[in-house]
Amino acid sequence: MRFLWIHDDSNLSNPKVQIYRMCRVMFGAKSSPFLLSACIKHHLRKFKGEYPKTVELRNNYMHVDDFICGTNTEMEAIEVYHNANTIMKKASMTLTKWNSNSPVLRKEYETDKHKDSTPLCDSSSKVLGLEWDTRKDVFSFSTQDIIDFIQENEQTKRCVLKAVSRIFDPLGFLAPYVIRAKVLFQDLWLTGIDWDKPIPLESQSK
């Protein structure tokens, strides 16, 4: 990215134009997400021979700027943890906010004194927008927002569609419940009822 800049505005009739070039990725540019991904993948390729397993995991389980993966053993996880940190530090990128369902790994993170790591006392953490209880190793969902939305709005076909759209479930854990709401919306659509007309009481109870 280059842009023009007038070096001296005292002589605008014959200005001296300087050409400047951005030396950093601009925030908000449409190409920024691609550049981030391309730079990381290019950097990882340099270490494919030295750390093949870690590079494979980093390539396959990277979600924008979050690295989420699992291993068969705690020792393997510790190895991936140290190798991933080593690789990214070569590019002056520090991996932070590590967390695990394993007390052994959490102890390892604490020993390394990562100032931005999730403290051991925290039993819950956010993973792709979902609440993850690291002690019990379970994901949890709060439906209160959807319940409040339904109670605060008139029960219409539009309300049903908006309620279904509020469910954030990227991993599909709630699919058995979400499908029932989608079937309800489909049934309402087949009745031909208007978008903002109250739906039948039988449908409201569902």
**Across 183-203, average pLDDT:** 90
- With a cut of 80, say whether residue 21 has pLDDT above it: yes
- With a cut of 90, say whether residue 41 has pLDDT above it: yes
- Is pTM, for the whole model, over 0.85? no
- Which span out of 45-59, 94-108, 122-136, 190-204 was modeled with the highest average pLDDT? 45-59
User: What is the structure's pLDDT at 116?
Assistant: 52
**Across 133-156, average pLDDT:** 90
- With a cut of 60, say whether residue 120 has pLDDT above it: no
Beta bridge partners of 125: 132
**Spatial distance between the Cα atoms of 185 and 163, rounded to a whole number of angstroms:** 10
User: What is the structure's pLDDT at 121?
Assistant: 47
DSSP 8-state code for residue 130: E
Confidence of residue 143 (pLDDT cuts 50, 70, 90): confident
In the block, which residue shows the tokens 């903002």? 196
- With a cut of 50, say whether residue 151 has pLDDT above it: yes
For 63-103, what is each residue's pLDDT tens digit? 877 899 999 999 999 999 999 999 999 999 888 888 899 99
**Across 102-106, average pLDDT:** 91
User: What is the structure's pLDDT at 57?
Assistant: 95
Tokens matching residue 182: 């989608």
**Spatial distance between the Cα atoms of 195 and 33, rounded to a whole number of angstroms:** 37
User: What is the structure's pLDDT at 122?
Assistant: 61
Tokens matching residue 100: 């695990």
Give the helix ranges, DSSP H, for the chain: 32-45, 52-60, 74-89, 103-112, 144-152, 157-165, 175-191, 201-205
Phi, psi of 198 (to 5 degrees): -55, 135
Average pLDDT, the chain: 87
For 153-192, what is each residue's pLDDT tens digit? 999 999 999 999 999 888 889 999 999 999 999 999 999 9
User: What is the structure's pLDDT at 162?
Assistant: 92
Please state, for a pLDDT cut of 70, what percent of the chain lies above it.
Answer: 95
- With a cut of 90, say whether residue 22 has pLDDT above it: no
User: What is the structure's pLDDT at 180?
Assistant: 92
